[in-house]
């Protein structure tokens, strides 16, 4: 995808990563390893794999913005959804870890449902646009 975007448009300025599947509802002790692995392969590894290639291109060109969508499931836990919530918490942790590696500002945008964005982190020049409001590396929330 990244190669095609760069070939077509000359660069990659923005990416939005959103992946989500669920396993059938099950008590955590009864959930199968196959269901757990499938959910994490799509929800967490899918975001990681996309972001990995996006980061390489954005690092090379010196700018870009990536939005990783988690869900409310990345902030809470619910019964019979252990694999799903683990994967969505993982997306938030992955995003925070990568934000430490790159000169970015990390924002928390609260989820208002499964289709609302979760954590967002931004590359320069977007960071420069909001630098007057936030310092790089600071965690903020739109609830403030």
Catalytic residue IDs: 84
Q: Which H or E element spans position 83?
A: helix 82-101
What would the two tokens of residue 74 be? 């990345």
> What's the chain's length in residues?
144
Q: Which residues 6+ apart lie within 8 Å of 111 measured at CB?
A: 70, 71, 72, 74, 75, 117, 118
What would the two tokens of residue 118 be? 């979760």
């Amino acid at each position: 995808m990244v190669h095609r975007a760069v070939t077509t448009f000359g660069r990659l300025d923005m990416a939005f990563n959103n992946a989500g599947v669920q396993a059938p509802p099950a008590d955590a002790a009864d959930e199968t390893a196959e269901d757990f692995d499938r959910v994490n392969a799509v929800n967490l590894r899918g975001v990681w794999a996309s972001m990995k290639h996006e980061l390489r291109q954005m690092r090379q060109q010196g700018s870009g913005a990536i939005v990783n969508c988690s869900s409310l499931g990345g902030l809470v836990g619910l019964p019979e959804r252990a694999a799903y919530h683990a994967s969505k918490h993982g997306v938030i942790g992955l995003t925070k870890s990568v934000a430490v590696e790159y000169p970015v500002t990390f924002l928390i945008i609260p989820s208002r449902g499964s289709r609302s964005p979760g954590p967002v982190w931004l590359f320069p020049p977007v960071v420069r646009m909001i630098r007057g409001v936030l310092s790089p590396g600071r965690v903020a929330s739109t609830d403030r």
